[in-house]
A and B are shown apart, each in its own frame.
Chain A
């Protein structure tokens, strides 16, 4: 089966600009996650969707980050405006459902550099 797809793979922007990342999960996976992985750290969950509803966004900086999964399949994560500390790899992952939330499949990530 095809894996989790993400685009773009790399993005360089200046601070205060906006950026958007796209994710297409594995077909049939109801649960989708966005993680932020800062260099030298493990991934940190930003937001979790179950179909098109938000399950957990407690660690999402809502003043600048937003995410949506309108049709319960693809998802976009947006940052507006970006700060230097947003430089990180943004990982998208999916799982079959909430009961399988611990067995997640990850995409290759988008490496964001904010200058």
Chain B
């Protein structure tokens, strides 16, 4: 069965410092991987996806993610964090077991960026 794991419940970063939010995956086929962000009292917003091609994927708001097949990881990164990046981040994988390839989400990582 497909799954993703987000090992950190919370990540704390100072504004201007680089940030990394970790995600590892387990899939039976080629992984389709995604990052979503959830701001308070708002729905999830799509950030970026990896399907094939370059291992470094660029997304919205200056975020990028690095796909690493040998480590089965898909960590989210940003070179310089902003206070406004504080939110809940979800990693997701396409569910090949589902009838139409729906998404399976991790439990989320709360990112807190302090001024």
Q: B-contacting residues of A (Cβ < 8 Å)?
A: 3-4, 9, 31, 33, 40-45, 48, 50, 55-56, 58, 91, 93, 98, 101-109
Residue B43 is within 8 A (CB to CB) of chain A in the complex: yes
A contact residues around B100 at 8 Å (CB):
31, 48, 50, 55-56, 98, 101
Which residue among B32, B34, B43 has the maximum number of chain A CB atoms within 10 Å of its CB? B43
Interface membership of chain B positions 32-52, coded 1 if the CB is closer than 8 angstroms to chain A and 0 otherwise: 101010000111111001000
Decide if A107 touches B43 in the complex (CB within 8 Å).
yes
* Closest chain A residue, CB of each to CB of B32: A102
Of B65-73, B78-86, B103-111, the one contacting chain A is B103-111
Q: Known: A56-B98, A102-B94, A103-B49. Contact between A108 and B43, CB under 8 A?
A: yes
Q: Known: A56-B98, A106-B43. Contact between A43 and B105, CB under 8 A?
A: yes
Which residue among A3, A40, A106 has the maximum number of chain B CB atoms within 10 Å of its CB? A106
B contact residues around A58 at 8 Å (CB):
98-99
* Closest chain A residue, CB of each to CB of B44: A106
Q: A-contacting residues of B (Cβ < 8 Å)?
A: 32, 34, 36, 41-46, 49, 90, 92, 94, 98-108
Given contacts A93-B44, A108-B41, 14 further A-B pairs with CB under 8 A are A4-B43, A42-B90, A42-B104, A42-B108, A43-B90, A45-B98, A55-B100, A56-B99, A56-B102, A91-B43, A101-B103, A102-B32, A103-B46, A106-B43
A contact residues around B104 at 8 Å (CB):
42
Complex: A69 Cα to B92 Cα, angstroms: 26
Complex: A44 Cα to B44 Cα, angstroms: 13
Which residue among B41, B46, B103, B106 has the maximum number of chain A CB atoms within 10 Å of its CB? B103
